[in-house]
Structure 1
Amino acid sequence: MAKVAIVTGSATGLGAACAVDLADRGWNVTINYTKSKKEADETYASVKERGGDAIVVQADVGRDADCRKLVSETFKKWGRIDGLINNAGTTKFQAQGDFEGVTPEDFDRIFRVNVTGTYMMSRAVWPTMKKQWEENKQRGSIVNVSTNATVTGNGSSIPYVASKGAVNTLTLMLARMFAPAARVNTICPGFIQSRWLLNGLGEADYNKMKDDMEQRTLLCQAGTPEQMAEAALFFLTSASNITGEILIVDAGSHLGLIPAKER
């Protein structure tokens, strides 16, 4: 029987790449979106083309009822849940030094989706993963998506970086609470070539950052959604003896960019 995963925020970008990669590995997938229905349907079609089964569920992970709906509809479809990728997230882009660029309301919204949403989705899958472990010793896996900005302190905004730091700490606590029924790990991507980042930064800043990644990181790479999905699926499908781990995936950019003259 094929394994089943929920991937939140999987209409585009990293989430969509995870859904497609899972289908290539024989998994069935719940594709989740909040607003991007057209893109979610396209991801669904890509999963089906690769032989995977899928459903598309609209849900806001910042709402507990929606989190429980995602889990309920997944279980109703396949009768099991083996994996969860907490990818859905939000931010507000804040200019360097502009302390008035974010409000307390921005903090509330960003933490509600990025931190509370990660917690509520994990809580919602817990009864199913616990039961599968107790009855069949089938261990589940949860992968959270954070950011390398939790190490560098250089991200889209203060509340975004703070929220992802909280996700890293939450990962450690959840790894304890879910053991031994499930493993819980986190990836911390750096720059990802995506529409989300392009829209947030603007074309000029996006292209400059992309050029820096390609020319001045240790691996001379600007990360792709597919590369980040490789890391997420390593934790989800392969790393059977790893839990509570936080992995930076950024071509070495957290170690600093190499001066252009040295390239």
Structure 2
Amino acid sequence: MQIKNAVALITGSSSGIGAATARLFAEYGCNVVINYSRNEAGAQKVADDCRALGVEALVVQADVSRDEDCRALVQATLDQFGRLNILVNNAGTTLFCAHENLDGLSADDFLNIYRVNTVGPYQMVRAAEKALRDSGVAHVVNMASIAGLAGVGSSIAYAASKGALLTMTKSLARVMGPQVRVNAICPGFVQGEWLAQGLGQERYDALLEQTKRGAALNDAASPETVAQAVLGLVIGGDLSTGEALLVDGGSHLNASGVKR
């Protein structure tokens, strides 16, 4: 798929992986829609960075857990550009809770996380379905996680939501073809402010070092390396759909997590 002059809508793109993906797409000449829920200043900065690369950028506030917001976000994209070629479902949330603390999560915690991480991508695909199909060749990338594959991560609720997203990716790939490919990215430990804030700096630093030592490539993912994987799926996987690409530096290859 060629993305020069295409239009990509990236949810949750005011920072982190979403922002890195928007900037990388812009480098390749793709127009971008920057979505945020609360961080307007961050979204505007990302949009300015993309415009400086010579593409058009639209900033739209929307909460993907709300169906009406998803539909308005897609409509704003079509009003501005008249088309939609790529949808990256990156918006996500979590609650940091040790897995052994079963009393640490309530039913509402699960539902709040699912609304954003699982229901949100579904609503976005539903809202964008006609536009994506009309484009002739389109791609949806769902931002899942190694948590959904291995049952690890910030909380059991988060892992469950990402596991559900991976299953949904297969279902959507089956029904959205042949015009639209649907794939998922599964980052492992991702370096950056989001995890550092959630874990606390001391624990973050320790886990980062452990992850790097245990990875075959002696490194951990960053927002930029995850963005590269998204781009690779979009432009280099014309016959790939319903798949999940793991981006973790090869840390999953060592069950102990530490090289010997």
Residue number in structure 2 paired with 1:110: 113
Letter in 2 for 1:100: D
Select which of 164, 167, 184 maps to 1:166: 164
SS of residue in 2 equivalent to 1:95: coil
Task: Please tell me whether the aligned partners of residues 139 and 181 of structure 1 are also in contact (alpha carbons under 8 angstroms).
Answer: yes
Distance in 2, matches of 1:148 and 1:128, equals: 30
Select which of 174, 178, 183 maps to 2:181: 183
User: Aligned pairs, how many?
Assistant: 257
Task: Please tell me whether the aligned partners of residues 152 and 254 of structure 1 are also in contact (alpha carbons under 8 angstroms).
Answer: no
Q: How much has 1:257 moved relative to structure 2?
A: 5.7
SS of residue in 2 equivalent to 1:196: helix
Q: How much has 1:49 moved relative to structure 2?
A: 1.2
SS of residue in 1 equivalent to 2:121: helix
SS of residue in 2 equivalent to 1:5: strand
Task: Please tell me whether the aligned partners of residues 12 and 34 of structure 2 are also in contact (alpha carbons under 8 angstroms).
Answer: yes
Distance in 1, matches of 2:11 and 2:257, equals: 37
Q: How much has 1:33 moved relative to structure 2?
A: 0.5
**CA displacement 1:79-110 (0-9 Å, x = unmatched):** 11000000001000002411111110000100
User: Under a length normalisation based on structure 1, what TM-score does the superposition of the two structures give?
Assistant: 0.94
Distance of aligned partners of 1:259 and 1:168 in 2 relative to their CA distance in 1, 3 Å threshold:
closer
User: Under a length normalisation based on structure 2, what TM-score does the superposition of the two structures give?
Assistant: 0.95
Letter in 1 for 2:232: F
Distance in 2, matches of 1:139 and 1:168, equals: 22
Task: Please tell me whether the aligned partners of residues 34 and 58 of structure 1 are also in contact (alpha carbons under 8 angstroms).
Answer: yes
Letter in 1 for 2:183: N
User: Gaps (5+ residues) in structure 1?
Assistant: 133-137
Map 1:1-263 → 2, pairs under 5 A? 2-132=5-135, 138-256=136-254, 262=260
Distance of aligned partners of 1:261 and 1:163 in 2 relative to their CA distance in 1, 3 Å threshold:
closer
**CA displacement 1:115-152 (0-9 Å, x = unmatched):** 100100011110112223xxxxx211000000012222
Q: How much has 1:237 moved relative to structure 2?
A: 2.5
Q: How much has 1:180 moved relative to structure 2?
A: 0.7
Residue number in structure 2 paired with 1:135: none
User: Gaps (5+ residues) in structure 2?
Assistant: none
Q: Provide the alpha-carbon RMSD of the alignment.
A: 1.3
Q: How much has 1:258 moved relative to structure 2?
A: 5.8
Distance in 2, matches of 1:259 and 1:86, equals: 29
Fraction of identical pairs, as percent: 43
Distance in 2, matches of 1:61 and 1:215, equals: 36
SS of residue in 2 equivalent to 1:143: strand
Task: Please tell me whether the aligned partners of residues 217 and 258 of structure 1 are also in contact (alpha carbons under 8 angstroms).
Answer: no
Letter in 2 for 1:167: L
Q: How much has 1:159 moved relative to structure 2?
A: 0.8
Runs of 4+ in structure 1 off by over 6 angstroms are none
SS of residue in 2 equivalent to 1:210: helix
Distance in 2, matches of 1:38 and 1:83, equals: 24
**CA displacement 1:196-250 (0-9 Å, x = unmatched):** 1111100011001111122221110021101000111111232111111111111
